[in-house]
Structure 1
Amino acid sequence: MAKRDHFGSKIGFILAAAGSAIGLGAIWKFPYMAGTNGGSVFLILFIMSTLLIGLPILLAEFVIGRRGQSDPVTSFKKQAPGKPWYLLGWSGLIFSSIILSFYSVVGGWILSYLVRSIFFKLKGGSENYFSELFGSIIQNPWEVIIAQGAFMLLTIWIVQGGIKGGIERASKWMMPLLFVFFIALVIRSLTLDGAMEGIKFLFVPDWSYFTGKTILLALGQAFFSLSVGVAVMITYASYLSKEERLGSSALNVALMNIGVSILAGLVIFPAVFALGYTPDQGPGLAFIILPAVFEQIPFGAFFMIIFFILLLFATLTSSISMLEISVSIGIRSNYELRRKASWIYGLIIFLVGIPSALSFGVLSDMHILGMTIFDFADFITSSFGLPIGALFTSIFAGYQLSKTELSNELLLNRPLFNAWYIIVRFAAPIAIIIIFVQGIIKLFL
């Protein structure tokens, strides 16, 4: 029987975990969230939330995963025999699959834009060209389904190769390239005339935006961008050897997530201000505003290709982590079934995602609680699935595992360990409940 795979190196694990965390949350979502919520103030609150709340929960998931050395369901059964904590593993499977079902739709959009940019088909002929193009793409049933399928094929191809041969190898070249490409884009953006206004927007606080709403949104962004709450990090940490120090790994993942978010802001905001746009464009920033921005700068077509390659890399590093949860639970200890399971679960998730892909076109009139199928899938996972999963994960680490067990696993100095322990037992659950209540209010009021 095949043996359970493991990460071949600490850097391989860090890059894979960071890739899962970064995803569209840092490159696509952070800029438009910051753009509509005060720029610098949002960034400050995001960094504080990531380090003070998100990082401790991430570390808790690392502990649970590494101690279990198995898929999430089996890990909870091992560490809490006879208790229903294993349901957290199943909830991770369900919600990560829902996330991947609509995440792959966005991955398909990116592929559509990337192909067009490579063949220099992204050339605005009118003032509203890019807005009309985006609308035509997401409303075309054949294009969105074929593109979504192509994105899922890429995800399956990587995951079927296993941890060392697939996920770790892909992350080792995709993540460094992501940073290199981003730095090139930052340099180009910062050399535009008028770029300083964008820098001020990102780094000089306008405290009028310091409100309860901004705090909650920044906390939610930090929380969800770290991929905590759906057993992704529990799954990845289960492939980690006992020799690795979890504290430094978790800190590196959090810092890389913050770093890429700031780089994304440095790419987007200087260019947006330099060319006379406003930063509060919302989710369409990457697909409508940025192509228009790139079109107006020298060598813009080349930089547009780089940007969509970046988006593709970031999306893939997250999608492979979400498919890995299904595969790890599906195969349990039958590791020779990995290839078959990758294709079966990948195909199922692709089929589940088709209604989301069609929700802006032929199914645009179909609504659930006033939302399109795509928006509902996003809402139900972001506002319910992730907070509930992270809340109970935090409670499990803080109350089910003994203080001695946690201390022996983390090997932190006493002040750091005590601070982490207090956050996991008290501060993190309170913060998650606030996010969860916000989601309920948004739904019913």
Structure 2
Amino acid sequence: MSNRDQFASKIGFILAAAGSAIGLGAIWKFPYMAGTNGGSVFILLFILCTLVIGLPILVAEFMIGRRGKSDAVTSFKKQAPGKPWFLTGWMGFIFSAIILSFYSVVGGWILSYLIRSVSFRLSSNEKDFFANLFTDLTMNTWEVIIAQGAFLLIIILIISSGIQNGVEKASKWMMPLLFIFFVILAIRSLTLDGAMDGVKFMFVPDWSYLTGKTFLLALGQAFFSLSVGVAAMLTYASYLKKEVNLGSSALNVAWMNIGISILAGLVIFPAVFALGFTPNQGPGLVFIIIPAVFQQIPFGSIFVIFFFILLLFATITSAIAMLEIVVATAMGDKYNQRKKFAWICGIGIFIIGIPSALSFGILSDVKIFGRSIFDFADFVTSSIGMPIGALLVAIFAGYQLKRAEQMEELPVKPWIFNIWRILVRYVAPIAIIIVFIQGFRN
């Protein structure tokens, strides 16, 4: 086990774990979900659900991962020998590969937009320019495939370098830069005339939106934005030293996720309201609205470069975690063959993702249960794989691990430990089942 890589520092681990959690979910999906579900009420429920539901499961994944000191499959085998719990690890392996297969498509879109912004080709006075640009890009067969491959190449090179030299180093400079960029963009957005309407939308509650549906959507957003359920955090924690406090690390990750989500709202909503757009634009909020918004701002062509750099960073940090799960599981104890497995797994995921990349173009007529290939891959992971995975993690940590084993990994005050135990054994599983059922209804 001495040949196995480790995180060199607690802060390196926290930033890597936060990077896994803070991806397109926090920056792209959170503003979109808040924009279509009443703003402030959704945000309040999201924060509550993150701390009460997502956090206990995050601690559970950390606990299982550090105790196992191995890939997800082996970790479950070690802690529950002779029982089928190891299948939870294989689920994480499969669903992480599927997630990265379509996630890398979006990463490719971001690369394409970044190249256009850097070359100052992301501006026009035509009304529908940005909507048409997004459509043309996603229908361009060779551009989407090449961009997807380029994005995955970046991830493969980082993973090939290992935990300390690859994942940890990348996270240590990407995450602080991400925060800095967001603060700059938020300040720029908040100084626009009429920006306060966006601030009110985010922080002055409209209680008519306090409904069961809003609660379920906020719960789902909190749950998925923390990356729990696909063994990402479990795998990262397997590289963690014994002296690192799991509880405080998980709390830091949760707060960083909330902070970036709120900052994303402060970047987008004041600008959207100030310039007469509406907040319920879905994916267009990033790829159509934001370039249009920045075009109407002084030095907007510079700020839009910052925005897509930031979005690329966030996407890369999440993608690193997804590929690390796949590589760690495939590699097993062959630690000296990390580079080989990184390339094999990365190329395999690239091939699997090609149909998703083409599902807006030449494969747009191909439907699986009424969904495009891209949407089906998203649905099968977000609405099926992640809830089942997180439910199994909660049950394993709450019931399979003995109380003494739990306390050994979570040495906190007895009342804090008891709260965590109640949440992970009862509250979180029930909430996950509700989200799971809601996913099928949608």
**Cα offset, 1:439, TM superposition:** 1.7
Report the counterpart of residue 206 of structure 1 in structure 2.
206
CA distance in 2, matches of 1:203, 1:349: 41
Q: Which amino acid aligns with 1:76?
A: F
- Matched residue SS, 1:397: helix
User: Corresponding residue for 2:365?
Assistant: 365
Matches of 1:276 and 1:38, distance apart in 2: 17
Deviations 1:89-127 (A, max 9, x none): 000000010000000000000000000000000112311
Which position in structure 2 is the counterpart of 1:271?
Answer: 271
How do 1:31-50 and structure 2 match up within 5 A?
31-50=31-50
Q: After TM superposition, list the pairs within 5 Å mapping 1:294-309 onto structure 2.
A: 294-309=294-309
Distance in 1, matches of 2:408 and 2:158, equals 34
The aligned residue for residue 389 of structure 2 is: 389
Is 1:224 equivalent to 2:240 in the alignment?
no
Aligned to 1:123: 123
The amino acid that maps onto 2:338 is R
Query: Do structure 1's residue 408 and structure 2's residue 420 form an aligned pair?
Result: no
- Aligned AA (2:123): K
Name the residue aligned to 2:325.
Answer: 325
Distance 1:189 1:231 in 2: 36
Aligned twin of 1:18: 18
Match of 1:351 in 2: 351
Question: Would you say the 8 A contact 1:110–1:312 is kept in 2?
Answer: yes
Report the AA paired with residue 334 of structure 1. K
C-alpha displacement of 1:284: 1.3
Q: Deviations over 1:414-433 (max 9, x none)?
A: 11100000010000000000
Match for 1:414: what amino acid?
A: P
* Structure-2 separation of matches of 1:330 and 1:162: 15
- Shift, 1:408, TM fit: 1.3
Give 1:440 shift: 2.1
Q: Which amino acid aligns with 2:190?
A: L
Kindly report which structure 2 residues correspond to 1:93-132, keeping only aligned pairs within 5 A, or say none.
93-132=93-132
The CA deviation at 1:138 is: 0.3
**2:240 partner letter:** L
Gaps of 5+ in 1: none
| Partner residue, 1:433 | 433
3-state SS of paired residue (1:287): helix
Q: Which residue of 2 aligns with 1:73?
A: 73
SS of the residue corresponding to residue 8 of structure 2 reads coil
2:243 counterpart SS class: coil
CA shift digits 1:364-391 (9 cap, x unpaired): 0000111100000001101000000000
> Could you tell me whether the CA contact under 8 Å between 1:2 and 1:336 is conserved in 2?
no
Residue pair 1:51, 1:254 contacting (<8 A) in 2 also: yes
Give the fraction of aligned pairs with identical amino acids, expressed as a percent.
Answer: 71
2: CA distance between counterparts of 1:292 and 1:125? 9
SS at match of 1:286: helix
Higher mean C-alpha displacement, 221-230 vs 279-288: 279-288
Matches within 5 A, 1:160-199: 160-199=160-199
Residue matched to 1:261: 261
The SS at the match of 2:22 is helix
Aligned to 1:380: 380
CA–CA distance in structure 1, aligned partners of residues 215 and 438 of structure 2: 12
Instruction: Provide TM-score, normalisation by structure 1.
Output: 0.99
Equivalent AA in structure 2 for residue 237 of structure 1: A
Distance 1:281 1:124 in 2: 20
2: CA distance, partners of 1:255 / 1:339: 33
Task: Give the number of aligned pairs.
Answer: 442
Alpha-carbon deviation of 1:237? Answer: 0.1
- Pairwise CA RMSD: 0.8
User: Separation in 1 of the partners of 2:440 and 2:253?
Assistant: 30
Is contact 1:2–1:334 with CA below 8 Å preserved after alignment?
Answer: no
Matched letter for residue 69 of structure 1: K
Q: How far apart are residue 176 of structure 1 and its match?
A: 0.4
Shifted more, 322-331 versus 256-265: the winner is: 322-331
Deviations 1:49-102 (A, max 9, x none): 000000000000000000000000000000000000000000000001000000
Q: What is the rounded CA distance, in whole Å, between the counterparts of 2:104 and 2:2 in structure 1? A: 30
Distance 2:213 2:354 in 1: 33
For 1:336-365, what per-residue CA distance to the aligned partner results, in whole angstroms no more than 9, with x for missing partners?
A: 110000000000000000000000000000
Which residue is 2:29 aligned to?
A: 29
Moved beyond 3 Å, runs of 4+: none
Q: In structure 1, what is the Cα distance between the partners aligned to 2:36 and 2:213?
A: 12
Query: What amino acid sits opposite 1:390 in the alignment?
Result: A
Residue equivalent to 1:341: 341
Structure 1 match to 2:233: 233
How far apart, CA to CA, are the structure 1 residues paired with 2:439 and 2:194?
Answer: 38
Q: Distance in 1 between matches of 2:283 and 2:417?
A: 39
| In structure 1, distance between residues paired with 2:66 and 2:407 | 14
Letter in 1 for 2:309: I
Deviation (angstroms), 1:2: 7.5
Structure-2 separation of matches of 1:276 and 1:418 = 49
Measure, in 2, the Cα distance between the counterparts of 1:328 and 1:75.
Answer: 11
